[in-house]
Every structure is written in structure tokens, then in C-alpha cells.
Chains A and B, each alone.
Chain A
Amino acid sequence: MTDSIPAGPVNLPPIPAFAAPGRAAPSLRGSVDWQSATVVEVRRETPNAVTVRLALPVWHAHVAGQHYMLRLTAADGYTAQRHYSVASAPDDEGHIEFTVDRMPGGEVSGFVHDVARPGDTLEVRGPLGGFFAWPGDRPVLLVAGGSGLVPLMAMVRHRRRRALTVPLRLVACARTPQDLLYAAELAPLPGEEHTVLYSRAAPPGYPHPVGRLAADTLAPHAAAAVADERYEVFVCGSTGFAEHAGRLLTAAGVPTTRIRVERFG
């Protein structure tokens, strides 16, 4: 994103900048070429989500937050393709992992859950998208709803794998404890602050109210992002979640130019 669009032939009023510049130089080769990746593992994360690990013949390190396109082709030539965020860290050389929620009637997610197994080949292209991406250079607040945690977990993993010291705050919202992705990894390491929230049911003794993400719960995280202007905020989740979280963040004073949003339709 340029800071302003180019001036025309006369003195034109500037266009307000939308956001900080894109964070990833798009990989043209990776984004153009389809390649056949090999499934090396399919593992269950929650009752509704599996992670599929792929080995890529032509591997371009992604920037945490980027996604790939996955294409399936039936015997008669019918194809279906979807975008999936990369869950794994960029330094996982030669490999990427997607975590896929089973969608009701989903032809691609259903295949990944019920059919895919090690040794299968799946066509992918990527990494894609240069905006919802964090190279690990600035403090971040990550706000995840459900499977919106997937690209944000790539950021958490990137920070850990590189032993980065830049502050990271994570607010992860799930319906119930059994729906929480990557639960074993959601204990904060030094320099990290985590808040895990449940909207339907929480374990006994849980310190936060059960229900929708509340302004009070988000407040300390938002305050940190307001106080330090280097902070960037990444929000990922359903449309309803993203709209709600965006409203809470802006109401708490976080400038919209420092908030990047990815919505799952």
C-alpha cells in the first residue's frame, strides 16, 4: 500500500492512507505455479478440525499469516479450490501445515477430513497475500475467533522458533475447551500474554465470563497496543467475530490503520 495515491495533473487532495504497507513481498513464482504436494501426516486437533501436513517439492518460505490455495480434481475433471491459511512456522523448511475445519457439506473440507491420508498428492499454490502477514518485527496483538487462530498460530510459532523477543499478545476465543485449537501450545512463554476465552462453556474455575468477547476482557491488551505505537493488531475469525472485535478495538482507541483483518466469509 502506498501512502497516498499519485497526484494527478492538478493539485489534488491526498487520499488518507489505509494502513501500514504490506508486510510480505509477494512471491511471484510461488503464487503462480501449481505444484503437487505430498500429504505426510493428517492429525486430529479437535472434534471438528484436522491438521494436514504437506511436503512441497518447490518450497518458498511464507510470512506468518499468509495462505495457500488448495485444488482438488475429480476423475471427470471437476475441480474445487479453497484458500487455507498456513498454520506452521515459516522456518519449517519444505513443509506447510493447514488446519481445516469441517464445514457442513463442504466438498473440500470433507475430503480433507474423510479421505486424505499420508502419501496422497494434493495441488497447492502459494504462499499468497502480502497484507495479513507478520515478519516478526513489531509487537503484535492477535485476536482470534475459532479457526481464525490458524494464521495467528503461525505467528506465535514463528516468534518461538526464532526466539524473537518482540512482545506478543494473543486473545483466542473458542466455543468450548474441546474446540480450542493448539491447546497444548497456548501457555504463554516469556514476552507473551495470552487470554483464552470461551463463548459457550468453560472449564470449572475459569476466570473470565463465558460469552461473547467483552470490552473489559480485551481492555488490557488494547491498552498495550494503544500505548505503544509500534503495535500491530491482527484479527481473524468469522465475519461476525471480526466485526465485533474491530468495533471493540477501535472503541478502545486502537487506530484502524494498525488493525489488519481477515474474515472467513
Chain B
Amino acid sequence: MSSTTRGFVGRHTAAERDPRLPPGQYDARHDFPVLSAEVTPELAPADWSFRIDGLVDRPRSWSWDQARALPRERYDGPIHCVTSWSKLSTDFTGVSLDAFLAEAGPRAGATHAVAFSHTGYTTNLALADLTGGRAWIAFDFEGEPLTPAHGGPARLLVPHLYFWKSVKWIAGLRLLDHDEPGFWEVNGYHHRGDPWAEERYSGD
């Protein structure tokens, strides 16, 4: 329970708070803050690739052109950053991870994945959070190619979890039969990161 802060008047009343905002989040409106722990790589589409390996029947990788040839989808819902900002409407275009996973063929024992970037950043996800039309490899934002700072040429997009799960400069998924914490998860962040449960840090 939080206690009242003397003299604090928020931007909104509690009743006016947008119900699409998870607890503790604020609306960044037109801002799209950049948060990454490493130097932004200069990665040309020709140098980008995406692979799925580990517990799959057909480990493989896709070049830029191969990935772009898969059916495109659009996501225009909210995204939520653990640092407390949310964007309530977005406009990403990409390919559903279901399409990639269907080609790779997850084995029965696969329960989790480590998603990794071309910089070596990693994060862990339950396979159930990556399937069923809830995760994409995104190429475009608001009709333009993703900028390098936002993960271009391609990033993972898992908008129902805090955005550190949506790996920038995505390079691949390794399917595992267990949960293996990634970069932020070993640095004190929550293993799953559900914004509606405020799963920000270890122990939340």
C-alpha cells in the first residue's frame, strides 16, 4: 500500500487514469524513449539474420529477404516499459513468430526460449508467451523502417510483457526445456515481466 505524499497533485485524478495503463505506468504519449544497455549496432539488413535452434525439429535461419517474404501483420496496441512509461497506441509491422516457429517445428519438450540479439543481449521467455499471435519480429514502426536505436532493422515484439523482453536487433531464439534467465533477469529483473502484475524486479 502506498501512503499519501504531502502536497502531491498528479497530472490526473485516479478516476481519470486511463484504464489501458497497467499499475504504476504513465502515458508517454508521442514520446518513444530509447533504453538499451549497449552501444547501438550499425546493422544493415543484408547483415541481419534470424535463426531458431535448440529444441526444434528443423533448426534454421532466415535472411532479411526470407523473413520479409513471410506474411505481414500489424500490431497497433500498447507497449509498456519497466521504467514506467507506456505508449497506448503504436503501429508496428512484422511477421508473427508463429510463422517462424511453424517452419522450425518446436519439439514437445520445449517450454522456454532464450531470445538473443546481434549484440549478444539475451532475455528469457516462456514459449507460451511467444505463440498464439502474441509475438512478432517487427521491421517497421509507423510505416517507416525501425531506426537502429529502436532495434532496427528488426526487433522482437512481445507487447504483453515489459518491453525489455522485446529484444532489439533480434538474432534468434533458442528453445529449451527449462527457464534460463537472460541479461536483465540476472541483473535483478523479474523472470516473466507481466506489466499487469507489476512483475518488475526479482521477487515482485
Contacts and interface: CB of A to CB of B under 8 A. Distances in A.
Interface of A: 1-2, 5-6, 8-10, 12-13, 15-19, 22, 24, 26-28, 31-32, 34, 36, 69, 71-83, 105, 107, 111, 115-116, 120-123, 128-132, 235, 239, 242-243, 246-247, 249-250, 256-257, 259-265
Contact of B201 (A32, A79, A111, A243): A32
A74 B9 contact: yes
| Complex A-B, nearest 4 residue pairs according to Cβ-Cβ distance, in ascending order | A265-B33, A26-B188, A18-B120, A130-B187
Given A9-B55, A256-B38, A32 B122 contact: no
A239 B15 contact: no
B89 interface: no
B54 A32 contact: no
A71 B23 CA distance: 12
Interface string B21-34: 00010101001011
What is the predominant secondary structure among interface residues of chain B facing chain A?
Answer: loop
B144 interface: no
Contact of A74 (B5, B31, B38, B55): B5
Interface string B88-132: 000000000000000000000000001011011110000000000
B188 A130 contact: yes
B186 A115 contact: no
B40 interface: yes
Contacts of B31: 265
B10 A78 contact: yes
B196 to A, nearest CB: 15
B3 interface: yes
Nearest to A17: B120
Contact of A123 (B3, B12, B33, B172): B3
A249 B176 CA distance: 36
B63 interface: no
21 contacts: A6-B114, A8-B175, A26-B188, A31-B203, A32-B201, A72-B8, A74-B9, A74-B14, A77-B14, A80-B10, A83-B83, A83-B84, A120-B7, A242-B34, A243-B34, A243-B40, A247-B39, A256-B41, A263-B33, A263-B34, A264-B33
